[in-house]
Chain A
Amino acid sequence: MVVRQYAQELEYLERLTPHSWRIKKGFQPNMNVEGIFYVNQTLEKLMFDELRNACRPGMVGGFLPGVKQIANVAALPGIVGKSVGLPDVHSGYGFAIGNMAAFDIDNPDSIVSPGGVGFDINCGVRLLRTNLMLEDVLPVKEQLAQSLFDHIPVGVGSKGIIPMNAKDLEEALEMGMDWSLREGYIWAEDKEHCEEYGRMLNADPSKVSLRAKKRGLPQLGTLGAGNHYAEIQVVEEIFDKWAASKMGIEEQGQICVMIHSGSRGFGHQVATDALVQMEKAMKRDNIETNDRQLACARISSQEGQDYLKSMAAAANFAWVNRSSMTFLSRQAFAKKFGMAPDDLDMHVIYDVSHNIAKVEEHIVDGKPKTLLVHRKGSTRAFPPHHPLIPVDYQLTGQPVLIGGTMGTCSYVLTGTEQGMLETFGSTCHGAGRALSRAKSRRNLDYTEVLRKMEYMGISIRVASPKLVMEEAPESYKNVTDVVNTCHAAGISKKAIKLRPIAVIKG
Chain B
Amino acid sequence: MSKRLLNALEYPEADKLNLNDENAFRNVIVWLELNRIKKAPQSLSNQLKNTNSKDWYTIYCKYKDGLGCPVLESKIEELQWILGYAVQIETQKNKNLYFKHAVENLQNTNVPAVVAENLLDKLDFRSQEFADGIKALAKVLNTVTHPDPLVTLKAVRKVIIQRMSPDCVENPDKYVLKGTPFPFQDTDLGFDLNDPVLNQAAKILRMIYIQNLRDLQTRANELIVAVQSVTANPKTDTKLGKVGF
> Which A residues are within 8 Å of any B CB, using their own CB?
146, 149-154, 158-163, 181-185, 188-189, 191-192, 218, 222, 242, 245-246, 327-328, 331, 383-385, 390-392, 394-395, 417, 463
Complex Cα gap A394–B210 (Å): 7
Residue contact B214 to A188, C-beta cutoff 8 Å? no
Contact of B232 among A182, A222, A391 (CB under 8 A): A182
Tell me the complex Cα distance, A39–B240, Å.
Answer: 46
Q: Residues 214-226 of chain B: 1 if any A CB is under 8 Å from the residue's CB, otherwise 0? A: 1001001110110
Is A245 a contact of B182 with CB atoms below 8 Å? yes
Across the interface, A184 reaches (CB within 8 A) one of B189, B232, B245, namely B232
- B183 (CB) vs chain A CBs: closest residue: A242
Whether A184 pairs with B236 at a CB distance below 8 angstroms is no
Known: A146-B244, A151-B244, A242-B183; 12 extra A-B contacts, CB below 8 A, are: A150-B244, A153-B241, A154-B243, A160-B241, A161-B243, A162-B240, A183-B232, A385-B190, A390-B217, A391-B210, A394-B210, A395-B182
Establish whether residues A222 and B233, one from each chain, have CB atoms under 8 Å apart when the complex forms.
Answer: no
- Assess the A192–B221 pair: CB atoms within 8 A: yes
* A153/B242 contact (C-beta < 8 A), A184-B231, A184-B233, A417-B190 known: yes
Closest A-chain residue to B235, C-beta based? A163
Alpha-carbon gap, A188 to B225, bound state (A): 6
B7 to A: closest C-beta gap in Å:
15
Which residues of A have CB within 8 Å of B189? 385
How close is B107's CB to chain A, nearest CB, in angstroms? 22
Structural contact, A162 and B182, CB atoms closer than 8 A: no
Contact of B224 with A181 in the complex, beta carbons under 8 Å? yes
**Cβ 8 A contact of B217, one of A150, A153, A192:** A192
> Which of A160, A222, A383 is packed against the most chain B CB atoms within 10 Å?
A160
Q: How far is the CB of B154 from chain A (nearest CB, A)?
A: 25
Smallest beta-carbon distance A425→chain B, Å: 14
Chain A, residue nearest B240 (CB): A161
Q: Are A161 and B241 in contact (CB under 8 A)?
A: yes
| Any A CB within 8 A of the CB of B106 | no
Partner of A183 from the list B190, B233, B243 (CB cut-off 8 Å) is: B233
Which residues, 170 to 220 on B, are CB-close (under 8 Å) to A? Answer: 180, 182-184, 187-190, 206, 210, 213-214, 217, 220
Q: Is the CB of A395 within 8 A of B241?
A: no
Q: Please state if A159 and B234 are interface contacts (CB–CB under 8 Å).
A: no
Asked whether A242 lies within 8 Å of B182 as measured between CB atoms, the reply is yes
The smallest C-beta distance from A457 to any residue of chain B, in angstroms, reads: 22
Determine the distance from Cα of A150 to Cα of B243 in the docked complex, in whole angstroms.
5
**Between-chain CB contacts (< 8 Å), 12 pairs:** A149-B243, A154-B243, A161-B240, A162-B236, A163-B235, A181-B224, A182-B227, A218-B241, A222-B241, A246-B182, A384-B187, A384-B190
Query: In the bound complex, do residue B228 and residue A184 qualify as a contact, i.e. CB atoms below 8 Å apart?
Result: yes
Q: CB distance B210 to A395 under 8 Å?
A: yes
Q: Are A391 and B190 in contact (CB under 8 A)?
A: no
B221 smallest CB distance to A (angstroms): 4
Instruction: Convert B116-134 into 0s and 1s, putting 1 for each residue whose CB lies closer than 8 angstroms to a CB of A.
Output: 0000000000000000000
Whole-angstrom distance from the CB of B225 to the nearest CB of chain A? 5
Give the residues in chain B near A391, CB-CB below 8 Å.
210, 213-214, 217
Kindly name the residue among B180, B210, B233, B234 whose own CB sees the greatest number of chain A CB atoms within 10 A.
Answer: B234
Residue on B with the closest CB to A146?
B244
Of B237, B238, B240, most A-chain CB atoms within 10 Å = B240
B186: nearest chain-A partner, CB-CB: A242
Please name the residue on chain B nearest to A245 by beta carbon. B180
Contacts of A242 in B (CB 8 A): 182-183
**For residue A162, which residues in chain B have a CB less than 8 angstroms away from its CB?**
234-237, 240
Would you call B210 and A161 a contact (CB within 8 A)?
Answer: no
Whether A328 lies near B187 (C-beta < 8 A) is no
The answer to whether B228 touches A327 (Cβ under 8 A) is no
Partner of B187, one of A161, A390, A395: A395
Chain B residues, CB < 8 A from A246: 182
Chain B residue numbers with a CB within 8 Å of A149 are: 243-244
Docked pose: A154 CA to B236 CA in angstroms: 16
A394 in contact with B213 given A163-B240, A189-B221, A191-B224 (CB within 8 Å): yes
Are A158 and B234 closer than 8 Å at their CB atoms? no
- Taking CB atoms, residues of chain B closer than 8 Å to A181 are 224, 228
Top 6 closest pairs, chain A to chain B, by CB: A184-B232, A150-B244, A159-B241, A188-B221, A188-B224, A385-B190
